[in-house]
Amino acid sequence: MTKRRTGWHGVFVPVVTPFTKDNKIDETSFREVLELLINEGVHGIIASASTGEWFTLDDAERIRVFEIALDQVKSRIPLLGCTTAIATHNAVSLTKTAKELGLDGTLVLPPPYALPNQKELIAYYEAIANVGLPIMVYNNPGRTQININSKIAERLAMFDTVVAFKDSTKDLYQMYETIGAVGDRLAMFCGLEPYALPLLQRGAVGIVAMTPNILGKKAVNLYTYAVSGNWKEAVEVERIIDRLYSYFYNAGYCAYVVIKECMNILGRPAGWPRPPLLPMDDADRNKLRELLKDLGVV
């Protein structure tokens, strides 16, 4: 078996970016959230990813988020920064800056909205790979309308700096195929916690998980229980996460808004979402509070 290119494993959290009510980055709250997550046992942090609302940040703000995270994490666990952009030159520039700052890697989606063909998609990743910073390729066709199947994943795995793969397709069969195709070289991460248990059983080495922002150590335990074979305990955690995910996608708000609302209810400093995303109204926030009570996390 070919040796994997990176030892990244476990629970990597796409951390929220707290904003103040007047839309500024809340640096103090961001540091507090990072410290909470590290103390709760997460294995890696991804700054300015989708959960961190990268799509509302300009390049200078994204770089500032990287700088804060670097200063707070202090190399205690791997730190990745999302450098996705529509234009290839923009993604390359952000990746170069991330490398110069000293991040451990980058998370990169296919360029959203542009709808590149396969040749263009490969060229996009090749240009970013040439920067020399380790890359976690992120497949999320629901957000980009581009599906990186196992055949494309094999093409991308030819680039030495592509070291990991995050899959959020909701297609278990395709996920299994991709693990079979490139799992000997790339660290395979499940991108959606409700799919984590079957993927960990089939060779995935970790989860890129949103719910530690809310649940902390309890969400980390999903991975810990699974890899130690404590499936009963893992399923109990999964049931809580499944109900949260159902609310993420059925509450009438963006999932990232719901995550921040959950955090704020639980006293975790998430701050405000940034427009176009808006906070929940009081009635929906009360419903969410009741859900969290029913789940036993309040």
Do 197 and 235 touch, CB atoms closer than 8 A? yes
Vertex 179, ends 131 and 177: CA angle to 5°? 120
CA separation for the pair 61, 81 (Å, rounded): 12
Residue 170 φ then ψ, to 5°: 65, 20
In order of 28, 51, 137, the CA distances from 130 in angstroms are 35, 26, 14
CA separation for the pair 185, 188 (Å, rounded): 9
83's tokens: 């450098």
What is residue 81's three-state secondary structure? strand
Looking at residue 80, the DSSP 8-state letter turns out to be E
Do 267 and 291 touch, CB atoms closer than 8 A? no
CA separation for the pair 98, 103 (Å, rounded): 6
Which are the catalytic amino acids?
Answer: 50, 138, 166
CA separation for the pair 116, 239 (Å, rounded): 37
Bridge partner list, 106: 81, 135
In order of 70, 80, 131, 208, 262, the CA distances from 101 in angstroms are 8, 11, 13, 23, 32
